[in-house]
Structure 1
Amino acid sequence: MKKRFNVKRILITGLIVFVCYILQTCLFPHLTFARIKPNLLVILVSAYGFMGGKRTGMLVGFFAGFLLDNTFGTVAGFHMIFYTLLGYINGIFSRIFFDDDIKLPIILISLSDLAYGLVFYFIAFMLAGDFRFGYYLLRIILPETIYTMVIAIVLYPIILYISHRLASAEQRSASRFV
């Protein structure tokens, strides 16, 4: 059975992506700890990936990356490609995802942010000749992963709640037409 195109879900998801983008680029730079800020878009793309599947994760990742590339893109298309792949990879886990267990989402979000930090280091620093990997790992990548994980513990239940509300509204709407 083909999934029904739902304009309300698309608009609300787009609004959530935009709000997280604004928070990440405007608010969280002022809430840094030792110049480290959480990556809200990694949380969002990962959550939509394992909650909605590969296609949903890829679409959310594409648009989140598009917003970042248009604002901060030092390597053209880096964020768009990375977040799209991130959404796809997290979407693979949608089959083993249970929304009442927070361990898998937090682990996947943490691994996703760690992957982002490692890939970003490789593209932005190592290719430019900066080989201080230990410094970046201990002072930037791991602290950002921990900060993102702490924020994910708060943000993920909100995303899950919104997803459940949209799903129940879709079920009520579908039951009226059956």
Structure 2
Amino acid sequence: MKRFIIVTIEILVLFLLQTTIFQWFALAGVVPNLLLILTVATGFMRGRTEGLTVGLVCGLMIDLLYGYVIGLYALIYMLIGYLNGYSNRIFAKEDMTIPIVLVGVSDALYFLLYYIFELLLKGKLNIGFYFIELGLPQIIYTVLVSILLYKLLNIINTRLDKKEEEEVSTYD
């Protein structure tokens, strides 16, 4: 139950930061995608199911407040959380390079899916222009912010894991 409450608070805080305070720190017209970082980190640290669930909630929040079609961002974030969940058992959670690379790759996938569903279907065919103007700055900004944010999320996850292990061991 504690994990559910903490993850809910993480989602709400990062959503509010992304949509309010980080709007003031926009570089090249883009803000870092904090909810994507949370989705990648959850999938990486907790597995496919939790990555998918956090991705669904994060995507629905964006859909409900900013999306034109309900479910589009939820689908994108769910896919990203689920795919990052595959790396849960393969890599060590303390390693900082793999999650940062996963954030960069996931943000590139996010841009590609965003381009297909939001721009390509509207007849905007110049993917190179949109990648340089929108995608690349967002990927770089998100990766830079993820260096700090992933470390914080990893600390929170590690403490929650320890508390859950302690609770299980007291019942044995």
Q: 2 CA distance for matches of 1:145 and 1:82?
A: 16
Q: Distance in 2 between matches of 1:82 and 1:133?
A: 18
Q: Does 1:39 align with 2:33?
A: yes
Q: Give CA-to-partner distance per residue, 1:46-81, whole Å, 9 cap, x none.
A: 110011000010111111111111101112211111
Alignment correspondent of 1:17: 11
Deviation at 1:123, TM superposition (A): 1.2
Whole-angstrom distance in 1 between the partners of 2:148 and 2:68: 30
Alpha-carbon contact 2:28-2:137 (below 8 Å) kept: no
CA root-mean-square deviation: 0.9
**In the alignment, is residue 142 of structure 1 matched against residue 136 of structure 2?**
yes
Any idea what SS the aligned residue of 2:89 has? helix
* CA distance in structure 2 between the partners assigned to 1:16 and 1:111 by the alignment: 22
**Counterpart Cα distance in 2 of 1:166 and 1:69:** 29
Task: Name 1:80's counterpart in structure 2.
Answer: 74
Give 2:154's aligned residue.
160
Is the 1:51–1:97 Cα contact (8 Å) retained in structure 2?
no
TM-score, normalised with respect to structure 1:
0.94
Tell me, which stretches of 5 or more residues in structure 1 are unaligned? Answer: 1-6
| Aligned counterpart for 1:48 among listed residues 42, 47, 50 | 42
Tell me the SS of whatever aligns to 1:168.
helix
Identical aligned residues as a percent: 37
Structure 2 stretches lacking a partner, 5+ long = none
Whether 1:106 aligns to 2:100 is yes
The question of 1:65 aligning with 2:59 is answered yes
Write the distance in 2 (CA, Å) between the matches of 1:122 and 1:172. 47
* 1:4 alignment partner in structure 2: none
Q: Tell me the TM-score normalized by structure 2.
A: 0.97
